[in-house]
Amino acid sequence: MSVSINKITVLGSGVMGHGIAQVSTMAGYTVTFRDIEQSFLDKAMEKIKWSLSKMVEKQKLSQADADKIFARITPIVDLKTALKDADLLIEAVPEDMNLKKKVYVEIDSNAEAKTLYASNTSTLPITDMAALTSRPDRFIGLHFFNPPQLMPLVEVIPGAKSNSGMVTMAMDFCKKVGKQPVLCKKDVPGFIVNRVFIPLVHEAVYCMERDGASMTQIDSAVKFRMSFPMGIFELADYTGLDVIHKATAEMHLRDKKVILPHPKIKQLFDEKNLGQKTGRGFYEYKGDKYERVNLTEQEAATYNPTSLLAVAANNAAWLLTNGVCDRAELEKALKLGMGLKKELFATVQEFGVQNVVKALQDLAAKHGQFYQPDPYLVNYRG
């Protein structure tokens, strides 16, 4: 299947949809933008205009080009009109399977036969969504990261029936919009990055409880000893506890073994302490500007994060054992999606593979199967 993509319809103009629409139009595509209310589309168009004006201010774009880019997006509420002549539909409606089901049935009765379908879901099964449509072979996951204008990674996830032409189309599309795609070969809960990231947030809370460590001790160790761009609690607050709670629930629903949920995440979500955006999550934030938590190398030296590293490595190992991606793609995804400054398995080697496996065995003995070391780690020889 070789297809030429010219016209794209983006469904949903929220956090992700407006960013995806913007990067698509900046790459030269003609974009139709659809939401359920004109006022949502108006707000999203304002955001795109603002973002383009910032690029003009920084001399990354000329005003004339910004105007042309903006003119290539047409906001439309009527679904049938929005889908007219679309080569590719990118769906970015809220992460709720019942809503997605409804939306795909609606799309399917209005889309033209040539339209290929892509979902920006973070956690929902691509195969199940594809099965709701008349074209499961021409359906794919296209998981952009937030914000799509800045984050370089897109996970490309074929469903069980996606044809190989869809994979080629999706990889080419990502490159054309200036992104670096990583192929997630199997439709597994959390795909690649969230499979490593989400359980780690829960583990950090367990570490705090079990080791009597403070948040800044753990975060300092994560940043300075595990080569993360920031602490794990800090990263959770930055991502949003709503995003983490919903991803947890979906991943856990799909497979109980992939995550050991700590109730603190749901508690923060229920309390509406969603992180930086609400002024409080794990940490408290004052003022409008994003403040970094004060993390130091001195504090990092006071906490040994081997069990946290072990949980991250164990989930990464699971992805490799199960043929979800190869090692190079895994490291690329973690670098671009989580900002790791060093390869995860290089950090594992620094800590000593035996120490990491031993930490998992000890945790498994005390806290159960979730921690059982993956064969890839047990047999790891560098």
Q: Which residues are catalytic?
A: 122, 143, 155, 194
Q: Which is nearer to ligand NAD, 133 or 146 (CB)?
A: 146
CA 41 to chain centre: 23
185 secondary structure, DSSP code: -
CB 341 to ligand NAD: min, Å: 22
Task: List the one residue from 35, 87, 331, 374 that touches ligand NAD (CB under 6 A).
Answer: 35
3-state DSSP percent of the chain in helix, strand and coil, to 5: 55, 10, 35
Task: List the one residue from 3, 27, 36, 249 that touches ligand NAD (CB under 6 A).
Answer: 36
C-alpha distances (whole Å) from 27 to each of 131, 133, 270, 339 are 30, 28, 40, 24
- Under the criterion CB under 6 A, does residue 12 sit at the interface with ligand NAD? yes
State which amino acid sits at residue 323: G
Comparing every residue's Cβ against ligand NAD, the nearest one is 14
State which amino acid sits at residue 268: L
In this structure, are residues 331 and 347 in contact, taking their beta carbons and an 8 Å threshold?
no
Tokens 């059982």 -> residue: 372
Q: Which is nearer to ligand NAD, 191 or 380 (CB)?
A: 191
Q: Which is nearer to ligand NAD, 67 or 96 (CB)?
A: 96
Question: How far apart are alpha carbons 98 and 132 in whole angstroms?
Answer: 11
CB 369 to ligand NAD: min, Å: 28
- Under the criterion CB under 6 A, does residue 131 sit at the interface with ligand NAD? no
Q: Which is nearer to ligand NAD, 193 or 344 (CB)?
A: 193
- Under the criterion CB under 6 A, does residue 15 sit at the interface with ligand NAD? yes
Q: How far apart are the first and last CA of the chain?
A: 39
CB 334 to ligand NAD: min, Å: 16
Nearest partner of 193 among 118, 94, 282, 122, judged by Cα = 122
Q: Which is nearer to ligand NAD, 5 or 36 (CB)?
A: 36
- Under the criterion CB under 6 A, does residue 95 sit at the interface with ligand NAD? yes
Could you give the residue ranges of the DSSP H alpha helices within 125-185?
A: 126-130, 164-176
Tokens standing for residue 13: 């103009």
> Which of these segments, 91-99, 206-214, 319-327, 374-382, binds ligand NAD (CB under 6 A)?
91-99
- Under the criterion CB under 6 A, does residue 376 sit at the interface with ligand NAD? no
Residues that bind ligand NAD (CB under 6 A): 11-17, 34-36, 40, 92-95, 103, 120-122, 143-146, 243
